[in-house]
A and B are shown apart, each in its own frame.
Chain A
Amino acid sequence: MKVVPFIVSLVITIALIVCLDRQWGTVPPVGKFVSPQHGFWQNAEAVDENFNSTLVFPQLHDKSTVYFDQRLVPHVFAENETDAYFIQGYLHAKFRLWQMEFQVMASAGRLSEIVGDKTINYDRRKRRLGMGYAAEKALIEMESDSTTKAECDAYTEGVNAYISNMKESELPIEYKLLNYKPEKWSNLKTALFLKYMSLELAGGENDFEYTNAKNVFGLADFELLYPSSQDSVDPIIPKGYVYPKPGVNIKAPSTVDSLYFAKTDSADIAPVKPDPANGSNNWAVGGKKTKSGKPILCNDPHLGLNLPSIWFEMQLSTPSMNVYGATFPGAPGVIIGFNDSCAFGVTNAERDVADFYEMKFKDETMKEYWFNGEWKTSDFRYDTIKVKDKPDVVDTIAYTVFGPVMYDRKFSENAVLKNKYYALRWKAHDPSNELKCFNGLDHAKNYYDYLSAIKNMHTPGQNFVFASKSGDIAIWDQGEFPAKWKHQGDFIMPGTDSSYMWQAMIPQDENPHIMNPERGFVSSANQFPADPAAYPYYLGGNYPPYRGLIINRFLNQMNGVTTEDMMKLQTENYNVFAEMARPILIKYMSDSLLTEDEQRYFDTLKTWNLRNDVNEKGATIFVVAWDYLVKAIYSDELTKTKLPMVYPYESTLLEALLKDSNYKFVDNITTDKKETLRDDVTAAFKTAVITLRKADADGKLKWGKYKDTRVSHLVPTLTPFSRQHLPIGGGTNCINAEKDTHGPSWRMIVELTDSTNAYGVYPGGQSGNPGSPYYDSFIDTWAAGKYFPLWIMGRGDVEDKRIKAKIEFSK
């Protein structure tokens, strides 16, 4: 029986190995994970890590060298562009592989494969939005263009060269924690990434909420709540510009009153939408107004802030191109940056290019729908969602002439839908090749190159700012935008015939634009692109006016502008909204009704310097008080029914109160008393003080503490990989639009002097590895409102002291 102890100990050993080699719930395979030669310890990069290496890949055509500067920014010197894009793909993968793939999995609705059944609804939403469908159509368009195809193929090969040569111990730590492995990259994944950005930037709409509001309040009051113009508008193209007659004429359908405006069908769907704050600032100041006599271009795109950052900084240099700037891990080329001749940047155009149509299906099989007087056959897409450790989920999605049926009884975001079907017409479903735009900008030598490049940007529409060394500045509100009749697509449209379809696209040359204007600068901050009273096409009303207003005010006053002035402007915390709104709080406050304690807070508000700086208490008091005032005024009306609605824009309330203190919605309809603005302001302030007192007791009354900015890891539960409690001011309506989790994701300033003088910073670091000192190395600089000089390395600078390491590539 001597064999028994052997067998017992052997079984224990094997059982231990098996148990420690598998995942238990969210606990990663412990043995594999803690092994110092395989697991997470391998991701603990030595702080003096030397990144030098020599790599050989048969896919390359020539020798190339990548020089890393002290911030780990790669400067790629290749002999041809194919090699440059291959290396870009390789470097993106080397430093950001997990993030690149995770973003694409999120875009494609494949997160459940990684994290299990808690993301099934998230994934279904992406499938029903038609993300995969859109990416497939874009891919065909991208691959039909030989330049784009070559660029994407090389990039994909570069990513895959890294993946193939990677040892398991080199897997990014998130793969080890979540226990899965990367797939090969593909051009489709690049297309899916671009659609991820399209959704973030051009996926916004309020069709269901606006329909509900119109039905509950009537069209007249709807227009009071959600106007399609603003008193304070200072559009991107200054007022007074004379627009030519529209090239396309569109007409509202004859049934518009009965079938559209007077229709009272509501739906309690509350769509999950991208952050409406996805916006940005950009401007270019002409040489007349700068100290150097050369233009200065500035851009700071506002996005959700995450680690690893959405941006990766690099320089790509070949005999035919020398471009520097922010790149997207997941796509080739530079997105926001500059070359030897010019600089370019973007802000979001904010147009509504996503509209819902109510469909009439013959029965619940959804095989046929009524369109133009006959039953039309639906196309079906069978989307299989793989779920980690669980059976697959199959979603059958019907496609109509408009697009996918996003909401029906099987998927409705918890609404009860009986015989109701809503199809989505989304511009991002139309084939287009946006990479061609960025390829063109990266190569652009002058205004005309810029112009022909940006014509390729269809979705998401962007305000492209431009400045060149030859002295030109320009801005185009560019995208392929549907020409709409007034209120078209603000509400759910009938989908039973073609009369409510988008009739035409606005001709590209009629997109609002301006070059070298008299005032000496161009700017945009997501405000109305054009004066809605003068522009011949309907623009909707989803534009925040205030950042644009204050940027233009400052730029108008400035002369002899330097890059330092621009840094100050980009990080400016002055709250112009508060400048206009605080007088209402002061004028209509019933002081006599305030307790001593409340009076103390009110005094702080009155003496506040209108700056959202980190240590200002007044900023917190203003924001909290205004929020309660908004609620006091609107919440009674908006919660009259259980139907989802959105709050009106800040500008709507402010402009209404500035015009008329007897604003219709001031009265609280749930009480017998007729409330006045004075009642609302005083009551709101008293409620605000309860919140403020609590914040004060917790030591969080100062604005920076109250706002509590953080940059979170893409997996929200991985808080130790996040940076929290960052001391940074600003906020909504400040040029420094830094909110709690959202804000300037890349700040760039480029002075187009003969030798380019550029500065930049982003809230992250070049490495996506939480175990690297380069993971978050820019965050403190960013939070402090400081910048790094951007080094445009020359071919002759190979001995420069700034070079920390180099990788040599050859075939």
Chain B
Amino acid sequence: MKFIVSLLLTALLSFVSGLYLPWWGIAVAAFLVAVVIPLKHGIAFIAGFAGVFLLWGGLAWWIDAANNSILSKKIALVLPLGGSIVLLILITAFFGALVAGFAALAGSYLRKLVVE
């Protein structure tokens, strides 16, 4: 349950950060969530990772659908992805997720340091 809450909260806070902060606001969001909600370190990493993976992947997919893939088709060739839109969305989600995962891990360790 705490995992699901963590994940959703990371996604939500990341989205809000995107409105006001540069792209790395997702790291701040994932970090804060992991500080506040106690989870095992590995689980915290996964919650941060998955939260932003779903957010970025979902946003990219949603934008792409509204755009009829006009741009993603081109970008998937500019970045050497062989024109694969799925790969482009996965890569988008992965980079955000990776940053958020490590930020959540750091948050989780900080919580341990402070609480214990």
Residues of chain A touching chain B, judged by Cβ–Cβ distance below 8 Å, are 2-3, 5-6, 9-10, 12-13, 16-17, 20-21, 30-32, 34-48, 173, 177, 718-721, 770-773, 775
- CB <8 Å contact, A16 and B96: no
Interface string of B16-58 (1 = CB under 8 A from A): 0011001110010001000000000100000000000000100
- CB <8 Å contact, A34 and B91: yes
Residues of chain B touching chain A, judged by Cβ–Cβ distance below 8 Å, are 15, 18-19, 22-24, 27, 31, 41, 56, 59-60, 63-64, 66-68, 70-75, 77-78, 91-92, 95-96, 98-99, 102-103, 105-106, 109-110, 112-113, 116
B62 nearest in chain A by CB position? A36
- CB <8 Å contact, B74 and A720: yes
- CB <8 Å contact, A36 and B92: yes
Q: Which residues of A contact B23 (CB under 8 A)?
A: 21, 31-32, 35, 37-39
Shortest distance between the CB of B111 and any CB in chain A (Å): 9
- CB <8 Å contact, A177 and B60: no
Q: Which residues of A contact B41 (CB under 8 A)?
A: 5
Given the known interface contacts A2-B113, A41-B92, A45-B67, the answer about A12 and B102 at a Cβ–Cβ threshold of 8 Å is yes
Partner of A9, one of B18, B59, B60, B102: B102
A6 nearest in chain B by CB position? B109
A323 to B109, CA, bound (A): 67
Can you report 17 A-B residue pairs in the complex whose CB atoms are below 8 A from each other?
Answer: A10-B106, A13-B105, A17-B99, A31-B99, A32-B22, A34-B96, A36-B18, A37-B59, A38-B18, A44-B67, A46-B66, A47-B68, A47-B70, A173-B71, A718-B78, A720-B74, A720-B75
- CB <8 Å contact, B105 and A9: yes
- CB <8 Å contact, A35 and B56: yes
Partner of A37, one of B15, B75, B109: B15
- CB <8 Å contact, A37 and B106: no
- CB <8 Å contact, B63 and A41: yes
Given the known interface contacts A38-B22, A720-B77, the answer about A44 and B63 at a Cβ–Cβ threshold of 8 Å is yes
A43 nearest in chain B by CB position? B71
Q: Which residues of A contact B71 (CB under 8 A)?
A: 40-41, 43-45, 173, 770-771
Partner of A40, one of B31, B68, B75, B77: B75
A719 nearest in chain B by CB position? B77
A47 to B68, CA, bound (A): 7
- CB <8 Å contact, B109 and A9: yes
- CB <8 Å contact, A44 and B72: yes
Q: Which residues of B contact A35 (CB under 8 A)?
A: 18, 23, 56, 92, 96
- CB <8 Å contact, B109 and A46: no
Shortest distance between the CB of A164 and any CB in chain B (Å): 19
- CB <8 Å contact, A13 and B74: no
B88 nearest in chain A by CB position? A34
Shortest distance between the CB of A768 and any CB in chain B (Å): 13
Please list the 5 inter-chain residue pairs (A to B) with the smallest Cβ-Cβ separation, ordered nearest first. Answer: A771-B71, A37-B18, A6-B109, A35-B23, A36-B59
- CB <8 Å contact, B96 and A6: no
A30 to B95, CA, bound (A): 8
A16 to B67, CA, bound (A): 30
A37 to B75, CA, bound (A): 16
A773 to B73, CA, bound (A): 13
- CB <8 Å contact, A6 and B74: no
B103 nearest in chain A by CB position? A13
Q: Which residues of A contact B99 (CB under 8 A)?
A: 13, 16-17, 20, 31
Q: Which residues of A contact B75 (CB under 8 A)?
A: 40, 720
A11 nearest in chain B by CB position? B106
Given the known interface contacts A16-B99, A720-B77, A771-B71, the answer about A34 and B110 at a Cβ–Cβ threshold of 8 Å is no
Shortest distance between the CB of B95 and any CB in chain A (Å): 6
A43 to B60, CA, bound (A): 11
A295 to B82, CA, bound (A): 53
A45 to B113, CA, bound (A): 46
Q: Which residues of A contact B113 (CB under 8 A)?
A: 2-3, 6
- CB <8 Å contact, A13 and B102: yes
Shortest distance between the CB of B69 and any CB in chain A (Å): 8
Shortest distance between the CB of A22 and any CB in chain B (Å): 12
A84 to B91, CA, bound (A): 45
B92 nearest in chain A by CB position? A34
Q: Which residues of B contact A37 (CB under 8 A)?
A: 15, 18-19, 23, 59
Given the known interface contacts A40-B71, A771-B71, the answer about A47 and B102 at a Cβ–Cβ threshold of 8 Å is no
B83 nearest in chain A by CB position? A720
- CB <8 Å contact, A720 and B78: yes
Beyond A31-B99, A47-B68, A775-B70, 9 extra complex contacts between A and B, CB < 8 Å = A9-B102, A12-B102, A12-B106, A20-B95, A31-B24, A34-B60, A37-B19, A41-B71, A720-B78
A155 to B100, CA, bound (A): 44
Q: Which residues of B contact A45 (CB under 8 A)?
A: 67, 70-71
Partner of A6, one of B15, B59, B60, B106: B106
Shortest distance between the CB of A75 and any CB in chain B (Å): 25
A173 nearest in chain B by CB position? B71
